Every structure is written in C-alpha cells, then in structure tokens.
Amino acid sequence: MRFKVFIKNYTALTIGGGAEGRTDISLNDLIIPPSSIKGSMRTAINKFLPQNYTSCGKIRPEEITEKHKELGKPCDVCLLFGYPKSRDIGCFTINIVTDLEKLDKVSFTRVAIDDKTQKAVEGGLFSQEAISPESEVVIEVNFRDSCRERMLKLLLYSLSALRLWRLGRNAMIDLKIENICEKYKCDEEMKKIVTNLENYLW
C-alpha cells in the first residue's frame, strides 16, 4: 500500500545537510533524509505507545538484541521500523515527493561546537539552509502488505505521535494523510485513526 503524507512546518525546518571543507561560512545544503523522518516517528511512538503494542525502548543495537531475548521475540516497534540483524528493514519505506529546491528557504549562521571541549571549532562557522515556516513537504509511505493491518495501525499511530513531537532541529510540525480507507477496507479502529489524520490538527 502506498499513501501520501503532507507535512507542514510551523518553525524553520532543518533536518540534514553537509558542508565541504572547513572554511568559515561554507554552505550546508538542505536535505531531508527519509531515515531521519522514520527516526523521529520511532522516537515519538515510544513516547506515546498505544495499549496492546510493545516496545523494547532501546536505541543501541546490543541493548535491542538483549531486550528481544528477554521478550522472547522482537517488539512491535522494532518489527515496524526494523532492528539490528533483521533480514528486512521494517514494514515501510519513505520517499520524498516534494522538490525541495522549489520551497522557500531561510539561512542561519551557526557555529560548530566540539563535543569534548564544548568550545567553538576553529573554522567552524557555517551557513545552514532551512525550509521556511508554513511550507508543506509531501512524502510517500510504501507499506509492505505482508506486515498486515496491526502494523499498519501502529504506523498510523506513529504519524499521530509525530504531530506532538519535533522533527529535525526541533521544528514544530503538523501533518495529514490521504484517506486510505477509500482504497483499503478499514475497521472501526482504523477509520478513527484515519479520520484523526485526514486534516491538519493545528
């Protein structure tokens, strides 16, 4: 199953980028890695986990593996998003549909800080692009049908949770989705989740 998700940011949105060299005011071009969106969804659902779903609550691969051994099986969140030594990468993938070059952008000047010394890095002044507030980014979610309805519901719950979380460098966002019940047979629980996600919350 494929469906679109529309993400609107209410503050400047910066997720990823890279600068070349170590010269001052090098430009970090704007990118939105799908893995970063999935990571934020994963964190959010761990904070707002629905009843009857499980989460190991771990981040480090070795801790995830150990917790799954204790549980006797992978937790639901890891089944949805993927986990170390798994044969697949989870139940869904994300593609960025929006051409980011066409979005309005703003630039910020930032200073790189050395984690060990907590001091500014020499030559670490750089310019960072961000998506202007009130922009809309469209992504496409490709859900693997073999994961079945229960995991699809958890995916939708994670999108709901992301509304109450942050994306990228602490950006406030809202989102809505296509009405998947128009092309997929939904039970009452699914209809309720989809109805909640059909329109922007804020």
Give 122-171 pLDDT, tens digit per residue.
777 767 778 899 999 999 999 999 999 999 999 999 999 999 999 988 89
Place 17 in a pLDDT band, splitting at 50, 70 and 90. Answer: low
CA 198, chain centre distance (Å): 18
Model pLDDT for residues 37-48, shown as the tens digit of each residue: 999 999 999 999
3-state secondary structure 90-108: CCEEEEECCCHHHCCEEEE
Radius of gyration of the chain (CA): 19
Position 21 pLDDT exceeds 60: no
Q: 18: closest CA among 99, 89, 97, 112?
A: 112
Q: 141: closest CA among 103, 191, 96, 79?
A: 96
pLDDT of residue 19: 46
Concatenating the DSSP letter of every residue in 51-83 gives TT-------SHHHHHHHHHHHTS--HHHHHH--
How buried is residue 78: exposed, middle or buried, by Cβ count under 10 Å (0-12/13-18/19+)? buried
Place 27 in a pLDDT band, splitting at 50, 70 and 90. Answer: low
What DSSP state is assigned to residue 124? E
Per-residue tokens: 4: 């679109």
Q: Where are the domains of the chain?
A: 2-34+92-197
The overall longest dimension of the chain from CA atoms, in Å, is: 58
Position 25 pLDDT exceeds 70: no
Percent of the chain with pLDDT over 70: 91
Residue bearing the bigger pLDDT, 102 or 25:
102
Model pLDDT for residues 95-132, shown as the tens digit of each residue: 999 998 888 888 777 777 888 888 877 777 767 778 89
Position 23 pLDDT exceeds 90: no
173 and 9 Cβ atoms separated by less than 8 Å: yes
